[in-house]
Structures are given as structure tokens and as C-alpha cells.
Chain A
Amino acid sequence: MPVKLKVNTYMDVAVVELREKALDASNSENFKKSMAETLANFQKVIIDLSRVEFIDSSGCGALLSCLRQLGDRKGWLRLCGVQKNVLRLFELVRMNRIIDIFPTKEDAVKNF
């Protein structure tokens, strides 16, 4: 299933809005593919998850993959707009300690 993304740039920061209700085993591989271009061209990437109601372990794995690709190129990944249910999963698998999470896009862009 193709994944709908919208990428905006603010100076050297790419903000990727994930326009999907879910990020799970059904679309996480496509999500990784869709992210490839942005990850190759930017060092500072923010993924806006405010439309995402559901993430599973595959979704977490895809986000960790983005983090690692950026890390390999001395870049940074930030998340924003994480819904409560999704945050609960991030806490369960300790993603909240590995990726910086901000309440809003503006907070994430600030001082990046």
C-alpha cells in the first residue's frame, strides 16, 4: 500500500507529515521507501504523527530505521504530534528515550 506523505522544508529542516491513520505491518515497508529521498537530502528531519492513530511494532521499527539512517549521516530525527495511544506504545518499547518527541511541529522546528 502506498503511503501518503507531505514534506515541507523550513530552512535546513524537513518536516514530514504522515497522512495515514495507521503505521503498521501493512505500510511500514512503503513508509521506509517513501522516506528514503528525504533522509538522503536532509540532516534534520521531523516526522509529524498528528494524523496517526495507530502504530504497531513494525511502525516503531520503521521509525527506528529512519533514526539510524540519519544517525549514520550525523543527522537528527524528531517526532511531533504523537497521540496518546501511540505514545503509550513508545513508552512500552522505550522509544521515547531514544527519539526526541515534541508536542507540536513548531516546538520541534525550534532550535533544531
Chain B
Amino acid sequence: MIEYLSPLWISLKTVLLTTAITFVLGIAAARWISRYSGKLKALIDGAFILPLVLPPTVVGLGLLLLFGKHGPIGQLLSPLGMTVVFSWPATVISATVMAFPLMYMTTKGAFEQVDSNIEDAARTLGASEWKVLRTITLPLAWPGVVAGSILCFARSLGEFGATLMLAGNIAGKTTTIPVAIYFAIQAGDMSQALYLTAIVLFIAFASLAALAYFKKPGKQIRSKSRTSWDATSNATGKQEGYD
């Protein structure tokens, strides 16, 4: 039984953390690139999307070269006692890098759909960039942002190529479900492979259902507005039938 629980637990930890990180990074990157008008815009945009078009093993190799013993980041971290290669954080790093372009592209598209006049109006009303993002852009782009998160979740759940290269297969530490499935197939253990596949399918469907429920736009914003202003309409005695 441990053989099924361990990959499940590791995958869950990895995927949840990855989705949280890409949620923040994706929104930040999409926001930043839409406000940036320098000459390097196309180049940076391409760099953000790159992991999407490269084979995962190529990305994994790149990460390995970056974080490995002789890589720039690896050499920075090793005097601090931190090794990324073949550690659990490596699963999060590889999943994040592979899933980020999906969140970035979807969010960027959603942001572009928001009328820029509306954001400008908020600015003239004194809203800081952060307030504009929080109270205007995100609520209006919410369905797209949620769609991006779902894609991210699914992608990181199934992430294999880059993970195998950077995090390797260490039982109980970095063996995510996809890695476990691969090694099970290599060993000819079809029952374990299928069992793990069933778990992945279950998680995927359960999360899709949950996120579809939360996808309704501006749900939180609307419910907040009621209480403080009911006094106004009551005072005039006019209550229209709307909302």
C-alpha cells in the first residue's frame, strides 16, 4: 500500500505548491508584460512561453545544467548547504517551469480582454497599480485566470520529463505519480501502473469539478457589497426589484 500512498502524497504536495507559485508568478508576469513597452518585449514574451514548446527533457536538461553541481545557481547554493538536484524542491521547480507558460498565456489573454479604459478610470480615481489589479483587473479577468490555474494544475500533475531529469526517482522523496507509473511499466508491473493512473484521473476530475464551481466571476465581490448600503435604499423607501 505504501507504494501507492507515497507517490500520491508527494504528487499532491508538489502540485499544490506549484499551482500556488504559478498563480502568483503567472499573474505578476502577465501584468508586467502588458505594462512594459520596451524593445525586448517580444523576446521576453517568447522566453516565458519557451518551456511550452520545448520537449520536457530538453527543459529538464537545461534545469539540470542550471541547478547542477557545476551550474551557476547550483554553485551559488552549495556553500549554503542546499542542493536542488535530486531533492523534493526540484519536483516543484520543474513542475513550475513547465506549467508557468500555461498560466502566463491564459492570464495575459484574460487581462487583454479587460477594457483598458476601465483600468485607466481606476487610476484617475487614485487607485495604485496594486489596487487596480486587485479590484478591477482580476475580478473582471477571473474566468480566464481560473482557467489558467486549472491548466496549471493538470500540467503539473502529469509533469514527467523535466521532473525525472532534475529530481530523479528517490523513493519517498521525489517519486511523483508519473515517475512511479513510468518505473512500474518498465518493471512490467501493470497493476501498479494502472492503479496509479486511476488515482491521477480521480484527482483530475475532482479538481476540475471543484474549480468549475468557483469559476463564477466576481462572486466574492458581489456578496460583500450588500450590507453597508442597504440603509440608503431603505431611507428613500424605494426598493427596485433588481439583484
Interaction A to B: no
Seen from chain A, the residues whose Cβ lies within 8 Å of a Cβ on chain B are none
